[in-house]
Structure 1
Amino acid sequence: MNAVKTKKCSGCDNTFSCGDISTENKCWCNDFPPIFSLTEGGDCLCPSCFKEACEDKIEAYVETITPEKAAANKAQTLPKTEKLIEGIDYYIENGNYVFKTWFHLKRGSCCGNNCRHCPY
């Protein structure tokens, strides 16, 4: 188990807490999709910079998806995360949740509800 450390963000120089508090209480970054490998450079990012980096990487991936490619996309094979993240999985419009393409890709199939961002 890691101890919680105070780190400096390599993106914005702000300090933040990083690491697992306990076996049951994992680091905040575990709520995000596991789309980065440790070799992709840089030290840890703060929650704000990390979310922005995730959004950028996901948007670049989503741009490559066609309906033909959607059924065999990589997102559905990633380990599942428990929390939905605003800006990555959904956004709020007029008080309603609007699920983004990434959310649909993780689910792995069309639900048949004519969703706005359905890639299938």
Structure 2
Amino acid sequence: MNTIKVKHCSSCKTPFDCGDSVEGMACWCNDFPPIFNPFDIADCLCPSCFKKACSDKIDEFVATITPENAIGNKASLLPESTQIIEGIDYYFEDGNYVFKPWFHLKRGYCCKSDCTHCPY
């Protein structure tokens, strides 16, 4: 039997289902890049607030990147994942995927395709 915990977001107070169960299943928040410990910010956050906090932390990091320090950055050292997250890795423009700097930094190199947000 799977028991899902209902928690209240420490930011907006909205109730949400936490994926961590008594049986030790992984929470949905584990699908996000492990760039910070959410407990450094607050207790558990709902999916919307967690995504915003993650995006804000990524934007802070990306702001420190220059073409000179992009290669070998800490994003490229994260475990590889085939999952990309809208708003974190990409957004849509005119029906097309536009990859954000974070996506490129995780890849770890320039693909020479003249991408809009290439940090290299």
Q: Is the TM-score greater than 0.5?
A: yes
2:5 maps to 1:5: yes
Count of residues paired in the alignment: 118
1:49-88 equivalences in 2 (<5 Å): 49-88=49-88
How far off its partner does 1:79 sit?
A: 2.0
**Runs of 5+ unmatched residues, structure 1:** none
**Structure 1 residues 98, 78: closer, same or farther in 2, change over 3 A?**
same
2:35 maps to 1:19: no
Contact 1:31–1:81 (8 Å) recurs in 2? no
Per-residue Cα deviation, 1:68-91 (whole angstroms, up to 9, x for no partner)? 100021001112333211111000
Aligned to 1:45: 45
Contact 2:5–2:20 (8 Å) recurs in 1? no
TM-score normalised over the length of structure 2: 0.89
Letter of the aligned partner of 2:43 in structure 1?
A: D
Percent of aligned pairs sharing the same letter: 63
**Runs of 5+ unmatched residues, structure 2:** none
Q: Within 2, Cα distance between the matches of 1:111 and 1:40?
A: 35
TM-score normalised over the length of structure 1: 0.89
Q: Within 2, Cα distance between the matches of 1:81 and 1:9?
A: 27
Aligned to 1:31: 31
Letter of the aligned partner of 1:49 in structure 2?
A: C
Aligned to 2:113: 113
Aligned to 2:103: 103
Contact 2:38–2:44 (8 Å) recurs in 1? no
